[in-house]
């Protein structure tokens, strides 16, 4: 078990030098679930400066839900490069797209579509900021720090809290935060959430495809950091039933027109467009066609009802929230509160741009 290994011994070996011409490259990709990540490492004889310098690789797609055993090779196409916070030095993390034997994208590869849309709308300069909520679990998949045969006290004292009786797992959160900064991910901040053992980190502002790239790599880092602490990360939108908040992936979005003086007009127009395709977005906003989000979007616990579209200023019970400061300044951004915590950021950002910037459903 990971909890029984000695990390101090590992650190001794990681301090060993490697030849100057060598580099370890950890290839990271999204598997067939559309919400989990996989990874494997290869040695390079050079230190890459851009993803285009890296070789295309492959993996056994029959073991990741992305191919049949009789034709199992799936290609890994490097698309984004990051510093490696675990191996340090010149070693790299490599985010990859996945392609089938016929050179077509796998079903879980949503990045290529997102990139096409972002390129079409690049003159509008779409910006994103994503708030990723998640829950820390113990080895038995019970929320970290919760009584094993009961529940902690009701919600109220946990949001942005301090104190050992209110906050569980801060060491994981701090380690993840620093790892993101080291890699070059544009992480904005982090805080404890409303349900104990639940946390949030924010990535952004990012323009275009960078949003999805940074968010997926930040997720990889979260799982990888938690692994070293012997803790599990859950992106389930409703990890605990009952009177507990669920977990979302609230997505802040703006265009150049929204950020300009009197951009509130563009924001209101965008909200109108979103209302017309609400059901389509709901189906796209979690990997299981809305079924996960149905457990979360109940109209309670700071959510809207899944089948109703709504918008309001400073109202966390709506589909789309206009922050109070934006309403006062009459420019800024909108917050889409509908995406589930396990949503694909490529899909969410692509849908927002397609609907708001390109007038496509």
Cα separation, 43 vs 187, in Å, equals 28
Question: Are 91 and 123 members of one domain?
Answer: no
pLDDT value at 5 more than 90: no
Give 201-269 as a DSSP string: EEEEEEETTHHHHHHHHHHHHHHHHHHHHT-EEE--SSSS-SSS---BEEEEEE-HHHHSTTTHHHHHH
Better pLDDT: 34 or 6:
34
Question: Are 268 and 328 members of one domain?
Answer: yes
3-state helix, strand, coil in the chain (%, to 5): 30, 25, 45
Cα separation, 218 vs 175, in Å, equals 12
- Count the domains in the chain: 2
| 151 lies in some domain | yes
Domain boundary among 108, 128, 149: 108
**Residue 29: partners with Cβ closer than 8 Å, 6 or more residues away:** 37, 38, 39, 59, 76, 95, 96, 97, 98
What does the block give as tokens for 44? 């390079």
Q: What is the pLDDT of residues 197-253, one digit of tens each?
A: 999 999 999 999 999 999 999 999 999 999 999 999 999 999 999 999 999 999 999
Mean pLDDT of 315-339: 97
Question: Are 285 and 153 members of one domain?
Answer: yes
Question: Are 98 and 150 members of one domain?
Answer: no
Question: Are 74 and 208 members of one domain?
Answer: no
Q: How high is the pLDDT of residue 3?
A: 53
| 302 lies in some domain | yes
Question: Are 103 and 121 members of one domain?
Answer: no
| 361 lies in some domain | no
Q: How high is the pLDDT of residue 79?
A: 98
Q: What is the pLDDT of residues 86-127, one digit of tens each?
A: 999 999 999 999 999 999 999 999 999 999 999 999 999 999
pTM score above 0.85: yes
Q: Which domain holds residue 129?
A: 117-356
Question: Are 40 and 152 members of one domain?
Answer: no
Question: Are 292 and 144 members of one domain?
Answer: yes
What does the block give as tokens for 86? 């675990």
Q: How high is the pLDDT of residue 149?
A: 87
Mean pLDDT of 292-297: 94
| 225 lies in some domain | yes
Domain boundary among 108, 137, 157: 108
| 252 lies in some domain | yes
Count of helices and strands (H, E) across the chain: 10, 13
> What DSSP element (H or E) covers 345?
helix 345-356
Question: Are 122 and 97 members of one domain?
Answer: no
| 145 lies in some domain | yes
The answer to whether residues 194 and 158 touch, using CB atoms and an 8 Å cutoff, is yes
pLDDT value at 9 more than 60: yes
Among the listed residues 208, 52, 215, the one whose alpha carbon sits nearest the alpha carbon of residue 120 = 208
Domain boundary among 77, 108, 139: 108
Q: For residue 8, what is the domain's CATH number?
A: 3.10.20.70
Q: What is the pLDDT of residues 171-206, one digit of tens each?
A: 999 999 999 999 999 999 999 999 999 999 999 999
Report the chain's mean pLDDT, rounded to a whole number: 95
Question: Are 189 and 272 members of one domain?
Answer: yes
pLDDT value at 298 more than 60: yes
Cα separation, 216 vs 31, in Å, equals 12
% of the chain surpassing 90 pLDDT: 92
The answer to whether residues 247 and 235 touch, using CB atoms and an 8 Å cutoff, is yes
pLDDT value at 314 more than 90: yes
């Amino acid at each position: 078990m990971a909890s029984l290994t000695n990390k101090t011994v590992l650190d001794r070996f990681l301090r060993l030098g490697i030849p100057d011409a060598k580099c370890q490259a950890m290839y990271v990709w999204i598997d067939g679930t559309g919400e989990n990540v996989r990874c494997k490492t290869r040695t390079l004889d050079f230190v890459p400066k851009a993803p285009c310098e890296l070789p295309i690789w492959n993996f056994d797609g029959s073991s990741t839900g992305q191919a049949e055993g009789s034709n199992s090779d799936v290609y890994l196409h490097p698309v984004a490069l990051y510093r490696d916070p675990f191996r340090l030095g010149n070693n790299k993390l490599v985010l990859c797209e996945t392609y089938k034997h016929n050179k077509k994208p796998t079903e879980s590869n949503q990045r290529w579509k997102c990139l096409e849309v972002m390129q079409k709308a690049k003159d509008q300069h779409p910006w994103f900021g994503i708030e990723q909520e998640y829950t820390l679990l113990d080895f038995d998949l019970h929320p970290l720090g919760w009584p094993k045969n009961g529940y902690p006290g009701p919600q109220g004292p946990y949001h942005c809290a301090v104190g050992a009786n209110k906050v569980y797992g801060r060491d994981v959160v701090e380690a993840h935060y620093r790892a993101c900064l080291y890699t070059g991910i544009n992480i904005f901040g982090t805080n404890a959430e409303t349900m104990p053992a639940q946390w949030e980190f924010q990535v952004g502002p990012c323009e275009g495809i960078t949003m999805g790239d940074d968010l997926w790599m930040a997720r990889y880092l979260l799982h990888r950091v938690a692994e070293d602490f012997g803790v599990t990360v859950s992106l389930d939108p409703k990890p605990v039933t009952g009177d507990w908040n669920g977990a979302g992936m609230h997505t802040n979005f703006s265009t150049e027109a929204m950020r300009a003086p009197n951009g509130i007009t563009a924001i209101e127009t965008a909200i109108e467009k979103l209302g017309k395709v609400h059901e389509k977005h709901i189906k796209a906003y979690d990997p299981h066609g809305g079924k996960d989000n149905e457990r979360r979007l109940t109209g309670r616990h700071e959510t809207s009802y899944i089948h109703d579209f709504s918008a309001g200023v400073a109202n966390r019970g709506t589909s789309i929230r206009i922050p109070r400061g934006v309403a006062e300044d009459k420019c800024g951004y909108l917050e889409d509160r509908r995406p589930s915590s396990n949503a694909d950021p490529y899909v969410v950002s692509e849908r927002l741009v397609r609907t708001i910037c390109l007038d496509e459903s």
